[in-house]
Amino acid sequence: MKEQLNFKIELISPEQVIAVRQPVLRKGKPIEACIFDGDDLPTTFHVGIFINGSLVGVVSFMENKHPLFEEENQYQLRGMAVLESYQFKGLGYEILKYGESLLIKKGIKMCWCNAREIAVDFYRKNNYTIKGDPFLIPEIGIHYVIHKNLQ
């Protein structure tokens, strides 16, 4: 952590995730646009970080194989978001680390993500590597597939 923030990290429900996903990743869009396919699957888990009891950051992990990768045991990281006033304080790093530690416990070998161009440096700092060429997700922008071997 860069500054001493008193935070708590725990697993949260798909409904709780929306409170951060919406303002950060789907600004001005309806709730339906903030619900991802797979949010409710039993293999999916959602991580939240709380400051003074308020949820300020979220990330979700879903079992999903990307055709670019051969590993059988893959998870996709989705919906990584920290409320704007809490960004760049190390909270994203903390929820990513927590989620990865749960994946390692599950025996998952690799985690990948469709990363927004502006967030690629954040993932690089967390030891993710780009695979392949950039691509466009309509209405959101340029993305890169990034990945990390976990064990």
Binding interface with ligand COA (CB under 6 A)? 24-25, 80-82, 87-93, 115-116, 118-119, 121-122, 125
Q: Give the tokens for residue 2.
A: 């860069």
The DSSP bridge pattern shows strands 110-116 and 45-51 to be: unpaired
Residue 115 or 150: the one with the smaller Cβ distance to ligand COA is 115
Minimum gap (Å) between residue 46 Cβ and ligand COA: 14
Percent helix / strand / coil, the chain, rounded to 5:
30, 40, 35
Residue 28 or 107: the one with the smaller Cβ distance to ligand COA is 28
CB-based burial label for 6 (10 Å; 0-12, 13-18, 19+): exposed
Minimum gap (Å) between residue 97 Cβ and ligand COA: 9
Minimum gap (Å) between residue 64 Cβ and ligand COA: 15
Residue closest to ligand COA when measured from CB atoms: 92
CB-based burial label for 70 (10 Å; 0-12, 13-18, 19+): exposed
Minimum gap (Å) between residue 20 Cβ and ligand COA: 8
Note whether 110 and 149 are within 8 A (CB): yes
Residue 1 or 104: the one with the smaller Cβ distance to ligand COA is 1
Note whether 79 and 21 are within 8 A (CB): yes
Minimum gap (Å) between residue 42 Cβ and ligand COA: 24
Residue 3 or 70: the one with the smaller Cβ distance to ligand COA is 3
Residue 72 or 133: the one with the smaller Cβ distance to ligand COA is 133
